[in-house]
A and B are shown apart, each in its own frame.
Chain A
Amino acid sequence: AQTVTQSQPEMSVQEAETVTLSCTYDTSESDYYLFWYKQPPSRQMILVIRQEAYKQQNATENRFSVNFQKAAKSFSLKISDSQLGDAAMYFCAYRSASWLGGKLIFGQGTELSVKP
């Protein structure tokens, strides 16, 4: 069975600094998608970034970028120039490309705090 592990329950970063959140996953499949979701105190789940496993190039969305290491099954999220609004719970998620209906498997989450 596929699993997703986030080994950092909490992280802290100074405003304007850079922080990296870690995620590892376990799968025997070669075609899949990986995601980072953000959950602010409002509880709303917001998609931050997506990575297709068949793409070697790391995804980037403004200040958010990933380091995707397929062989190591690692998918870390880097937040540059951290802002107070980045404070939230971050979830890493996996989806097999072969799953009908696209169900996601989530990691345990990392609580990010941003210090002014």
Chain B
Amino acid sequence: NAGVTQTPKFQVLKTGQSMTLQCAQDMNHNSMYWYRQDPGMGLRLIYYSASEGTTDKGEVPNGYNVSRLNKREFSLRLESAAPSQTSVYFCASLWREATGELFFGEGSRLTVL
């Protein structure tokens, strides 16, 4: 099925551990995004990649790194997880450049103890 696939769907980490959230899209979209969703704060942009080989910071990039491995894949890495990074993470790709409509993955729930 075409779409945006995120792995893992759930993860529990201890403070200081590292992990990578994987995202892949099979729709040949150029632009991809990582958002985090927290209660009362909506979705906030962490990083985005307008095209293969480029990445840019969003609103809340501290504590994260990203890699645009190829056109399909855009990963998000937490080098040293903190409790403040407990959140639901969404990967998205840009469906239509002209209008900015995003196609979202199903989300990954991360808990940092």
Is the CB of A104 closer than 8 A to any CB of chain B? yes
Is the CB of B40 closer than 8 A to any CB of chain A? yes
Taking residues whose C-beta sits less than 8 angstroms from the other chain, chain B's interface range is 20 to 34
Q: Is the CB of A101 within 8 A of B44?
A: no
Q: Is the CB of B102 within 8 A of A104?
A: yes
Q: A105-B45, A106-B43 are in contact. Are A45 and B102 (CB under 8 A)?
A: yes
Most B CB contacts (10 A, CB to CB) among A4, A9, A43, A95 go to A43
Contact with A along B76-106 (1 / 0, CB 8 A): 0000000000001010101001011110101
Q: Is the CB of B101 within 8 A of A50?
A: yes
Chain B residues within 8 Å of A43, by CB: 88, 106-107
Contact with B along A61-99 (1 / 0, CB 8 A): 000000000000000000000000000000100010001
Is the CB of B2 closer than 8 A to any CB of chain A? no
* B67 CB to nearest chain A CB (Å): 16
Q: A101: which of B41, B94, B101 is its contact (CB, 8 Å)?
A: B94
* A70 CB to nearest chain B CB (Å): 17
- Bound together, the chains give a CA A43 to CA B90 distance in angstroms of 10
- Bound together, the chains give a CA A100 to CA B31 distance in angstroms of 9
Q: B50: which of A91, A101, A106 is its contact (CB, 8 Å)?
A: A101
Is the CB of B42 closer than 8 A to any CB of chain A? yes
* B108 CB to nearest chain A CB (Å): 10
Q: Is the CB of B41 within 8 A of A108?
A: yes
Output the nearest chain A residue to B97 by Cβ-Cβ distance: A102
Most A CB contacts (10 A, CB to CB) among B49, B51, B100 go to B100
* A91 CB to nearest chain B CB (Å): 6
- Bound together, the chains give a CA A103 to CA B50 distance in angstroms of 9
* B56 CB to nearest chain A CB (Å): 8
Return 21 A-B CB contacts under 8 Å, by A number: A9-B40, A33-B100, A35-B100, A35-B101, A42-B106, A43-B88, A43-B107, A44-B107, A95-B100, A101-B31, A101-B49, A101-B56, A102-B94, A102-B99, A103-B45, A104-B45, A104-B102, A106-B35, A106-B44, A108-B40, A109-B40
